Each structure stands twice: as structure tokens, then as C-alpha cells.
Amino acid sequence: MQPFSYVEPRSRAEALRLAQAYPEARFLAGGTTLVDLMKSGVVHPPMLIDVNRIGGLDEIEAAEGSLRLGALARMSDAASHEAVRTQAPGLSESLLFAASGQLRNMASLGGNLLQRTRCLYFRDRHFPCNKRAPGSGCGAIDGENRALAVLGTSAACIANYPGDFAIMLVALDGTVYLDGPAGERAVPAATFHRLPADTPHIETVLAPGEMITAISLPLGALSRQSRYLKVRDRSSYEYASVSVAAAADFAPDGTIRDARLALGGLAAKPWPVTEAALLLAGRRPDDPVAMGRLMDAAVDGARPRSGNAYKVPQARSAIRRAFATLARRSARSVA
Amino acid sequence: MARGAIRTVDTLAAEAVPGVVRVFTPDTMPRLPSVPEQPDWDIMYGSSFVPMADRTIHYAGQPIGMVLAETLEAARHAATLIHYEFAAEEPVVGLDVTTDLAGEPGHEPEQIWLGFVAGYLPGAVKRGSGAAALDHAAVRLEGRWRLSTNHHNPMELVASTASWESADRLTLYETSQHVANHRNGLAKLLGLPRENVRVVASYVGGGFGCKGPVWPHSWLAALAAKAAGRPVRLVLSRAQMYTAVGYREEQWIDLRIGATQEGKLLGATVTKLSATPAWEDWVEPSWYPFTFMYDLPALETRCRLLRANVMAPTFMRAPGEAPGMLVQECAMNELAAELGVDPIELRLRNHADVYPIDGSQWSSKRLKECYRVGAERFGWASRSPTPRSMREGDLLIGMGMASASHTVYRQPASARVTITTTGIAHVAASATDIGTGTATFLRQITADELGLPLDAVQALIGDTGLPEAPMQAGASLTSSLGSAALAAARTLRGRVLALATGTEGSPLYGHNENDLALDDGRILAGGNPTGQTVSGVLRRAGLTELSSDGRFDPGGMGQVRSGDPVRDRREAPRGMHSFGAIFAEVAVDPELGLIRVRRLTGVYACGRILNPKLAESQLIGGITWGMSQALFEVTHMDARFGRFTNTNLSEYMVPVNLDVPVIDVTFLDDPDPYINPLGVKGVGEIGITGVAAAIADAVWHATGKRLRTLPILPDALLDGDEISSTRC
Ligand SMILES: Cc1cc2nc3c(=O)[nH]c(=O)nc-3n(C[C@H](O)[C@H](O)[C@H](O)COP(=O)(O)OP(=O)(O)OC[C@H]3O[C@@H](n4cnc5c(N)ncnc54)[C@H](O)[C@@H]3O)c2cc1C
Ligand code: SF4
């Protein structure tokens, strides 16, 4: 780890002023991503702006059909919040199935959105990696790529976005609130992350000096019937090989009125499957034709590499499984 | 950089970092007075390679610089600022190369050196003609098992703290499984008399083999401390642990095995392929279980080694048995399926009634009862033999089993027991405790023999100043050192009683020693109090304490032939093994490719069990590792760079709590009169053996797929990358 300076602003304005004055500086929230990467020599910010002392950034509020989560709210606090558990159970699951208890107690929601890929070549500076060192080449594309993406990749980078929370956020039409040199703005969660194209080192639309202040999502029939299915080699404490964020509003006869789907683990960014609403409307989840079309649409354009072809059949099965579970839960709650 | 040379080194920036004390490179590192030479019957080196001695690069991860600083942070940072220019060459790694580093298709060593615990093994075994026997076989099986590279990954990192007390006296605090080995090694390499080197390691946070041998970090720390004129602590990072203290090598094991229609084994050929460094031959003897496990009349084994840009592999829990039993037991299960015979029945038909290596008797063997009791506890009878025939909702259920076994190794050991007039006893030996309960068993044995409560016995361990104990390895410490402690305590007891009965004026003068007993510091005669105490006896003799030394000298290594004529001449002709049976149930989600182990039942006959709690823990740990070998562990090597890619515990997968089911461990009473006075065979290594085969068989039973590449990952169940049993 390289030496760095550390500042602890007490207000948002001061933090933003510092960030603008020192463009290489980084905000420090829980530190579970940032400090790790600093220790491995992947990033070396000369200054850390600790935002944990700034008041008002960690609140969780549910009102008027909307949930608002402060960027500094901890994963464990958000996951166990009454409104999150009852009105957006899939969001709670996406947080609970992530990392470990210790990490969730430290890690913030804003930091969670900004976690970096687990690509082995990115994390070990002895290897080439276009994301870490632009122009050095992609070590993974012809290397050990079992964990990496089959969707949204480019010739420059096939890294996957590893997080869980963002997948559910995208499925449930969430919004990310930013504040920075150009003032405040709101960005749909679905467009917050960028595809790698030929600039894989630029991962989000966050501008230099900009801070995430909050995250929101609409609460309603969809969020109440949401589920996060996380598939991984071991039972816990592992990133998803494939994950499915699914939500469905069921009519009393068991047909779907409205649905949402986003995929994680296998794509360069949280991967919304926008066709879900159209393909499932008026259908039942056990309708093989509708489900087949949805599965086709979800992995359309998938480009497996030497080690990750298994993710495609795994994702297809996981999609069917997630909606089947939602249907069972819905039937139970009607009965 | 895995191959090539350093062209230039620039240390200026590193030296300028505040807090930096010294920067060493291959150009400036002080030289060792003498270098490791293999074989050495007294010293176990991890490798004969000496890093930091010249500018050649042999493998990725090779030490090429060392920074001493006031803080770890400054040292780590400065190390990244040493600027090197390299002349790089294409590395040679991996098992699918056509020519190795020497430009050859590999070589077959005549014998392999496994350090002084096991000595030499022949590079090839020939019993009858395995190949010819296969011609007559009604059923034949042929296959290649691919086993991944595995790393030890003990929780505690490897570390040395070297402190020179004077120009020629060194104290080394080392994460060591064997302080005497580190003392002997460091003394030899540094040109010091052994008595001038003290090595301390009382408690070690896990070793699994990687902390047994002497590796370069220890002598680098000592050399650096001498040069700097102050103590130096060197702690390897987790990533450095992947290239500095050995690993279990990637291996391909080709097996051909044949049996009669009745399931009687006729013969087998086993060929192992693995990689070794340019400068020495290391090969884990994975074919070894084929030599002793079943009544196998004909066997031919070979090992082919490829020279590669790698550091030396080393011992890892159950070396030889862990991979070998996997292949052997998978083959038995595949044969059983081919023949339509129950896997246990097939094993019974091939049970080795005598020790197959030389036809001698076993010291003790209760394997058949392990099968029977294990089958009962597990409910083996409920298994329907057809694959894919057991389901639960979306899940396919599978059951599998395997035998388990481990060689009994025995090592010379000594211990000292002292009793004082305060009523407290000490038991002392240089052994370390790597989580195996060394101090506990020493206290137990001493307390039992001296009739003292456990609280009245203290253990002194982990220091070369104490009587010399053997390596904490090969599941041999409890049996060997325990026997030495028993001898010491027994002698001491005799001396106390002799003082009591042989000293004129003593109230017990003239009593028959055989009528006397010790109980909580008192002396009983014919079971009745005599009013005399051990302390009183000592005081009357003018003593404040009394000590006895005890020694265990097995006169051989166990039934492994060491290759040392002196040792082997004294070997008792008995087969000495622990045995067991392991049963596994898995649930497979075929659509998602997920495998979860639901139950594991193991039944073991390991001689006398001194401490049931410690023994059960050893087995649970070993079985968990076997499951991990089957389903999780792999260190990936990127052949283009000759470098491991996942050198951290985030990407090197081991099971988490939720993956590990309740593990049911039972020990059969297995008194063994031949092995040692305690009758203890050891429990440290057998747990890992057989487990992966039982799980692989359970996966086959669940899914109908024979998977011979480890670890078994969801990919294999989703890609159709299966091997159906090949009948040839
Ligand atoms: C072993 C391990 C396992 C894990 N497993 C999972 C898993 O299974 N699923 C999963 O989803 N995640 C997992 N994670 C990732 C974890 O969830 C993230 O590390 C965590 O959420 C990051 O939050 P943080 O507050 O610690 O971020 P930090 O490390 O403090 O920051 C991360 C990045 O975000 C920036 N940042 C932080 N807050 C803001 C802000 N408000 N505005 C602008 N920039 C900001 C920082 O500058 C930094 O670049 C795992 C992490 C570890 C170490
Ligand atoms: S996939 Fe992306 S992150 Fe991984 S090595 Fe290639 S460029 Fe780097």
C-alpha cells in the first residue's frame, strides 16, 4: 500500500469541495472494497476522504410508495429494515446473500454499487488488465475466465459486475442520486453502470468529484413480490456465478400482470431483461412457451469464453426457478 | 516473470522510503555458508533451491528482494519501489506440454526422496505383471484422473523472527511443525554448532505439512538479521504463501485396472504425471495406496516428471494417500457398478488379509467392521443401486462410499517428566502444537501414569531446549512422543516407589513396589492409604524434584521402507495402517449444477484413542478437507505467465460452515500390541482419505455422470463434460 493522506470532513459540502480540489482522492465509506484494492496495489489514491462523519447520509425511509436509502446506510441495516423486508423482500435478500455478516456491518450501499470486478487479473497487478492499466491488454479473455461475463463484454474486457444489490435495484426500477461539482442529479439504476466497450476502466456515469447520496426505488405490488435467487458453487460467502432478480405481480388466477427481471454474475453490468414485462404479461410462470421466450431473450447475444459457457444454461434454469418460486409464494399468500 | 534473468536492479527509491533500514537484492544478499543438500537423514528441507543467490529467475514468486523497515507498511511499500529490468523467457508449466524445461518429454526417477519421515520410495513399483494380468481380465477399467493443484492455506501465515544473541548464537521464533528440524537446518546452513541455535514454536496456527520442512524464508530472515545487526521478523503474505512453502502438485493419474467376472482384482497399472522444478525431483507417491490397500496380485506403477518453472511441491495432509486413495476408491466404485456388485461387497471380495507388500501379518486391522458399522450408521441399505433413482423434489440424491487408510509412521522421540515437592509434575518435549493437542495428550499420559489429576501436570513444549521430539507430521506425533512420555512417567514412578521402599527409615521401607500405587500425590498400599506422599518421599531423600527421561525408538519407520539400511534392518515385519470407511450423501440440483453434501459418516479403527474429543476433531477436519478436495479446491496456473492467478482466500475456495454437514465420526476399539507401547496409530491424516471418492461416487449415483476431474464443479454437470465408464 502506498502512503496516502486522510481527511474527515463533517459536511457534505466540505467533502465535495475536497473531492473537487483533489481529483485523485477517493471517498472512503466502509472501506471493504477500497482498502482491499489499495493493499493489493490495484488502486493508489493519494488521499482518502472519509465520509462516515457526515450526518444524514445513512437514513432509511419508506413513505408514499417509495423507499429511500442513504448512500452510507450499511448493508446489514438496510437488509433488516422492516420496510425493506416486508415491502421489498428481494432487495433484502440481495443484501443478505452478499459477503459475510462482518462485511455487511461495515459496507455501505453507495460503496456496494461501486464495488469492482473480481476478475483475477484485475486484482493481481502482475498480470495485464485493461481495466486496471488501460492499454495493457486483457489477461482473462484467453485465460482463467470461469467467473467472468458472457453478456455485455467487449474485446477489451470481459469482466463481470459482481455485486448483488444493484441487480435487484435495477430489476425494481431504482434510482441513484448524485451530488457533485455540477449539482445534484438523479440517474436510473439501469444506466448507472456502463458497458466496458473500449474503456473498461470507466465503470459508471459518476463524474469526477461526484458523490452518491442516496438510492431510491418504488414500493408496490412488484417490489412486494420480488425475489433474489443467487447461484454459486458454495452455499454462502461467495459471489454469484449467476443471479436472478425477479419480481411479478400475479392476478388472482395465477397469471402475471406485470413482471421485472434482471441478471447478475454473468454480465458486464447489472443486466435488465426489459422484455420480461411484455413476454410474461397474461402468462403463467409454468407456461413453457412464454418462459422459453424469456430465457432466450435473457441470454440473447451471450458470448461464452473458454471457461464460462456453463453460465448460460445455469442462468436459463435460474430464471425459471425464480419465477416458479414467486408463483408458489403468491399462491400461498392468496390461500 | 516465471523464467529469465534480472538485468538491472535499482533500489534508490526503495531506500529513500522513511523507515527503511536495509534493502537486499540478489547482488547484496549475504551468502549462506553452506547450501541445502538432499538427501539429509537429519534435516528435512522444503527444497534445495537457494533464492537471492543469483539473478536467474526460475519461477513466478521467487524472492528477488527483501526490505527491512521499522514498520511492515514501510517495508511493503518500499518493496514495490525496487525497480527491476528483466530478460524474460517463455515459461514452461502445465502437464499438457510436449517437451519440458529440459527439452524432454519428461523423465522417470528411479527413486524419490520424501524427507526423513518416509525416506526413499522407489520411483516405480512392479509386482507381478500388471499389464499382462489385464489381458486376462473379464472387466477392465481405464481412465485418467485429473487432480488440481492445492495449497495448505493454514490460517496463520508463515513467519520467522530471527534474533542473534551474539555473533554465533541465534534464536529463531518460527512457525514450525518441528523445531529440532529447523534448528538442525539453520545450524548446518549458517555454519553454527547445533547448540548455538534455539528454535521456539509452542503453538502454531495450523501447518498441514507446509511448516514442517526448512524453507528459504527462515534462513533469509537469519541472514538479514545478522547483516542488520538487529532482530528481523519476516512474515509471508498470503499471496507469497502460494509460492514459498510448497503445495500439492497438479497431477494426472492414469489407471488401468482389471478384475474377474466375480470381481476379484487381477492387476493394475498406474502412471502419474506431474511437474517438478529444474533442480530436484519431487513427486507425491500417489500410487502408493495401490500397493497396500487390496489383494491386488499384479501391479505396475510409474511416475513421469516434467521439469517446469515451478517451486518445489511438498507434503500435504496424507501425502500419497489423499490423491491415491481417491483414484483407487473411485476405481473400486466404478468396477462395482460395472459388475453390478455392491461397492462394499466388492471391497470385501478383495480384502487384503495379509499385508500385500511382503505377505506379513497386519499389526491390527478392523476394516471389515468399519464397513459394517459405517453402513449401519449411514443407512447404506436404503440406497437403491441404480443411478438417478433417488429424488427429492428438484433434487437428485446420491450416496457413495469409500475405504480410508493411512500408513502408520513412527519416529524416535524423547520426553522428560519431572515431579516436584509442590505436588506439581511437568512433562517436557520440544514438540509444537499445531492444533493437534500436543500439550493435552502429554499431560493426560503423564497424569494417568503418575496418578495425578490433570490440573497437577503442566506441559513445556515447543523449544529446542527441551528433550527432542519428532516432527508434527504423518499422524505420528501422538503415538511416538506419547510413547516416550509414557516411558518417562513410568520410569519416574518406579524411581519414586524405589525411593519409598528402598530408603532405610522410610515408613514404606521393604514394601513390595508392586503393591503400591500413586493416587493424587499419595502412596497407597494394597489400595489403602499409607499416610505417605510423593512429596514426602522426595523431601526425605533431600530432593526438591525428581526427573526421568523416556525414549521411544521404533527401530524403523512404520512399514514404509526408508531406504536407509540401518533403519530398515530393525524394522518389525508387520503391516501397520489405520483403516476406515467413509459414506457420503449428496443432493444435486441438476438444473443449476449445484452439488451439496448432506451427510458424511466415517467409521475408523486407528488403534487406541487417547482423547476422543481431540481425535474426533482431527477426523472432522480431515473429512472436511476431503470434501473440499472433491468440490472446491484448485489453484489456477495461467500457463502463459507461469503464475498462479488466485493466490488469496477470496478466490481459493474452501467450504464455509453452511457447506459442511454434520459429520458423524465413530472410532472402533482397535488395540494394537505391535505398534508402540500406547497402542496409538494416529488420527491426523486418515480423515482426508477416501472422502473425495465417496463424494464423486455419490455424484455419479445422483446424476449418472462419472467425473474424474477435481474439483467437481457445476460446469461439469451443465456442460455435458462427462466421462462414461470406459470398458475396454
Ligand atoms: C470477501 C468479500 C466478499 C464479498 N462478497 C460480496 C457478495 O457476495 N456480494 C456483493 O454484492 N458484494 C460482496 N462484497 C463486496 C462488498 O459488498 C463491498 O465491498 C461493499 O459493499 C463496499 O462498500 P464500502 O462501504 O465498504 O465501500 P468502500 O470500500 O468504502 O468504497 C468502495 C468504492 O466506492 C467509493 N464510494 C464509497 N461511497 C461512496 C459514495 N457515497 N459516493 C461516491 N463514491 C463512494 C469509494 O471511493 C470506493 O471507490 C464482498 C466483499 C468482500 C471483501
Ligand atoms: S476481463 Fe477486464 S478486468 Fe479482467 S483482465 Fe480483462 S480487462 Fe482486466
Tens-digit pLDDT profile for residues B6-32: 999 999 999 999 999 999 999 999 999
Q: Which residue out of A124, A230, A299, A316 would a mutagenesis test of the B interface target, given it has the greatest number of B Cβ atoms within 10 Å?
A: A124
Catalytic residue from among B174, B284, B334, B685? B685
Q: Please give the Cα distance from B716 to B720 (Å, whole number).
A: 6
Pocket test for ligand 1, best of A103, A116, A228 (most atoms within 8 A of CB): A103
Option in A127, A143, A231 nearest B594 (CB): A231
Q: Which single residue is written with the C-alpha cell 442462468?
A: A315
* pLDDT the model gives residue B570: 58
Give the Cα-Cα-Cα angle A283, A285, A287 (nearest 5 degrees): 65
What's the mean pLDDT in A31-52? 97
pLDDT at position B568: 65
Ligand 2 geometric centre to CA of A234 (Å)? 24
DSSP label at A283? -
Q: Is the pLDDT of residue B674 over 80?
A: yes
Q: Which residues contact B258 (CB under 8 A, 6 or more apart)?
A: B133, B134, B136, B137, B138, B139, B140, B141, B265, B266, B267, B268
Q: What is the rounded CA–CA span in Å between residue B193 and residue B202?
A: 23
Residue B261: pLDDT over 80: yes
* pLDDT tens string B418-456: 999 999 999 999 999 998 899 999 999 999 999 999 999
Distance from CA of B256 to the nearest CA of A (A): 30
The alpha carbon of B647 and the centre of ligand 1 are apart by a number of angstroms equal to 21
Q: Is the peptide bond before B507 cis (omega within 30 degrees of 0)?
A: no
How many Cβ contacts (< 8 angstroms) between chains A and B? Answer: 86
CATH 2.60.120.200 fits domain A5-49: no
* Amino acid present at A89: P
Architecture of the domain defined by B413-556: 2-Layer Sandwich (3.30)
Q: What is the pLDDT of residue B572?
A: 63
* Residue pair B180/B469 in contact by the 8 Å Cβ criterion: yes
Q: Which of B655, B656, B719 sits opposite A309 (nearest CB)?
A: B719
Average pLDDT of the residues of chain A: 97
The verdict on a CB contact (< 8 Å) between A121 and B651 is: no
A65: left (phi over 0), alpha (psi -120 to 50) or beta: left
Q: Which tens digit of pLDDT belongs to each residue from A169-221?
A: 999 999 999 999 999 999 999 999 999 999 999 999 999 999 999 999 999 99
The contacts of residue B546 (CB under 8 Å, 6+ apart) are: B418, B419, B492, B495, B496, B499, B538
Q: Is the pLDDT of residue B646 over 60?
A: yes
In this model, does residue A28 exceed pLDDT 70?
yes
By mean pLDDT, which of A101-110, B236-245, B669-678 is the weakest? B669-678
| pLDDT of A335 | 60
Q: What is the mean pLDDT of residues B619-637?
A: 98
A76 touches ligand 1 (CB under 6 Å): no
Mean pLDDT of A300-313: 97
Residues of chain A with C-beta less than 8 angstroms from the C-beta of B242: none
Q: Do B60 and A126 touch (CB under 8 A)?
A: yes
Question: Options 3.40.309.10, 3.30.365.10, 3.40.1190.20, 3.30.1330.90; which CATH number does B323-409+576-727 get?
Answer: 3.30.365.10
The residue whose C-alpha atom lies closest to atom 52 belonging to ligand 1 is A99
- Is B544's pLDDT higher than 70? yes
Q: Is A116 in the pocket of ligand 1 (CB under 6 A)?
A: no
Question: Considering chain B, what percentage of its residues have pLDDT values greater than 70?
Answer: 96
Contact in structure between A270 and A170 (CB atoms under 8 Å)? yes
Select A225-334's CATH number: 3.40.390.30, 1.10.3720.10, 3.40.47.10, 3.30.390.50. 3.30.390.50
Q: Output the pLDDT for position B554.
A: 82
Which of A126, A234, A320 has the CB atom closest to B655's CB atom? Answer: A234
Q: In this predicted structure, what is the pLDDT of residue B723?
A: 39
Which pLDDT belongs to residue B724? 39
Q: Residue B721 above 70 pLDDT?
A: no
Confidence of residue B567 (pLDDT cuts 50, 70, 90): low
Does residue A121's CB lie within 6 angstroms of at least one atom of ligand 2? yes
Annotation says B585 is catalytic: no
Question: Above 60 in pLDDT, residue B233?
Answer: yes
Average pLDDT, chain B: 94
pLDDT at B270 over 90: yes
Check whether A18 has a pLDDT greater than 60.
yes
The shortest C-alpha distance from B624 to chain A (Å) reads 13
* Shortest Cα–Cα distance, A235 to chain B (Å): 6
- Say if ligand 1 is within 6 A of residue A108 CB: yes
Interface of chain B toward chain A, CB-CB under 8 angstroms: 60, 73, 76-77, 80, 239, 394, 591-594, 596, 631-632, 636, 638, 640-641, 643, 645-648, 650-651, 653, 655-659, 713-715, 718-719
Mutate to test the interface with A, among B82, B638, B657 (most CBs of A within 10 A): B638
Give, for B545, the enclosing helix (H) or strand (E).
Answer: strand B545-552
Q: Is the CB of A131 under 6 A from ligand 2?
A: yes
Q: Give domain limits for chain B.
A: 4-90+152-244, 323-409+576-727, 413-556
Cα A220 to Cα A62, A166, B493, B547: the distances in Å are: 11, 18, 80, 80
Contact A118 B650 (CB under 8 A): yes
DSSP string, A205-220: SPPTT-EEEEEEEE-S
Q: Give the whole-angstrom CA distance, residue B495 versus residue B502.
A: 10
Q: pTM of the full predicted structure?
A: 0.96
- B487's enclosing H/E stretch is helix B477-502
- The predicted structure's pLDDT at residue B504: 87
Our answer on whether the CB atom of A130 is closer than 6 Å to any ligand 2 atom is: yes
Q: What is the structure's pLDDT at B559? A: 58
**Fold entry, domain B4-90+152-244:** Aldehyde Oxidoreductase; domain 4 (3.30.365)
The domain limits of chain A are 5-49, 225-334
Contact at CB, A120 and B636, closer than 8 angstroms: yes
Q: Shortest CB distance from B80 goes to which of A41, A123, A231?
A: A41
Where does the pLDDT of residue A112 fall: very low under 50, low under 70, confident under 90, or very high at 90 and above?
very high
The stretch A69-73 carries a mean pLDDT of 98
Percent of chain A with pLDDT over 90: 97
* Residue A147 near ligand 2, beta carbon < 6 Å: no
pLDDT (0 to 100) of residue B561: 64
